[in-house]
Amino acid sequence: MATPDKRPAELGPYQGKYPRSTAEFANLAKVVEDYVLPGYLPERPIIGPADSIRAQGSCFAENVVAALKLRGMNAKIMGVNETINSPTANEFFFRYISGRETKLAHPIHAAAFPIAEAANFAQKFREANLLILTLGVAPYVALRSTGLPVFNVDPNHPQDFVVIDPTVEETKKTIASIVAMVGEINPNLKLVLTLSPVPLNRSAQPSAVAADCISKSTLRAAVAELMRDPASKFAYWPSFEIIRWLGAHLPPVFGADDGLTRHVNKDIVGLVIDLFLKYYAGLEPAPMKDN
């Protein structure tokens, strides 16, 4: 009989393993490479130092861009209102950028993306080589009268708005719509989806912690369903799994820099970026550059 800390030599159909010993986490990069990244890596690097990288999504996308720039990459945030962080909000945004919508549906949208800037945003996407789209949260705020997503609630008229929690199937269709529109804007643009590890700030549900679990699970399940199609036109980078899942076995991965529970520590963000550049750009970790 095998002892509890031994593994059978033949795993059969079970290819993936979960770390068994906390001692393994002394080399976190190796743990990530051994246990998280298999199945999510390109066959070869797909970007170079001269390529244009754009990021959009949640506040985590800004952290990604900042880290990439410090490593000398041509990376920029798209400059879209940070509240456009759900698939539904992003899908609404891309409908304008792709020309499917030609007028703003509500004055609140003007604060998020002025319709006059649609052509400018579209051009930025056409010039980019890689888009990192970070999915932040599944719920979104909508106008009670129309169901259209909005990005800033009028505090004087809260009764006009409702928080909607989409299903996995609804979220899957929304993400698929985004992928299709990105391909229409720039067929050569490589798309990498990530899931932000940053938790919900607040929720319409009694427990924001439970709501955050449901939100992230909805997003991750929707992406997994889409990736079942071998012809799926995007890649997935598991930054969420690195920070939130492996993070359960580490000292706190949030708040070490400033005491805030929604800010990911810079050292683990750096690790995520170093590994991304290693496999997507063929670059080994190097001393970070000053701006």
Greater confidence (69 vs 234) lies with 234
**DSSP label of 284:** -
Specify the CATH class of 28-39+49-139+167-280 in words. alpha beta
User: How far, in Å, CA of 285 to CA of 6, rounded?
Assistant: 33
As a whole number, mean pLDDT of residues 117-128 equals 88
Greater confidence (57 vs 31) lies with 31
Q: Where are the domains of the chain?
A: 28-39+49-139+167-280
pLDDT score, position 59: 66
Burial of 206 (0-12, 13-18, 19+ CB in 10 A): exposed
| Beta carbons within 10 angstroms of residue 158's beta carbon | 10
**Does residue 290 register a pLDDT over 80?**
no
Nearest CA to 262 out of 32, 66, 57, 60 is that of 60
Burial of 33 (0-12, 13-18, 19+ CB in 10 A): middle
Question: What's the distance, CA 143 to chain centroid?
Answer: 25
* Number of DSSP helices (H) and strands (E) in the chain, helices first: 9, 8
Greater confidence (288 vs 25) lies with 25
Nearest CA to 77 out of 100, 56, 60 is that of 56
pLDDT score, position 286: 58
Backbone angles phi, psi at 77, to 5 degrees: -80, 150
pLDDT score, position 7: 45
The fraction of the chain above a pLDDT of 70, given in percent, is 89
As a whole number, mean pLDDT of residues 75-80 equals 82
As a whole number, mean pLDDT of residues 7-26 equals 77
pTM of the model: 0.87
pLDDT score, position 3: 39
As a whole number, mean pLDDT of residues 253-281 equals 90
Band (pLDDT 50/70/90 cuts) for residue 5 is: very low
As a whole number, mean pLDDT of residues 267-291 equals 79
Band (pLDDT 50/70/90 cuts) for residue 145 is: confident
CA distances from 266 to 133, 175, 244, 257 (A): 20, 29, 14, 7
Band (pLDDT 50/70/90 cuts) for residue 81 is: low
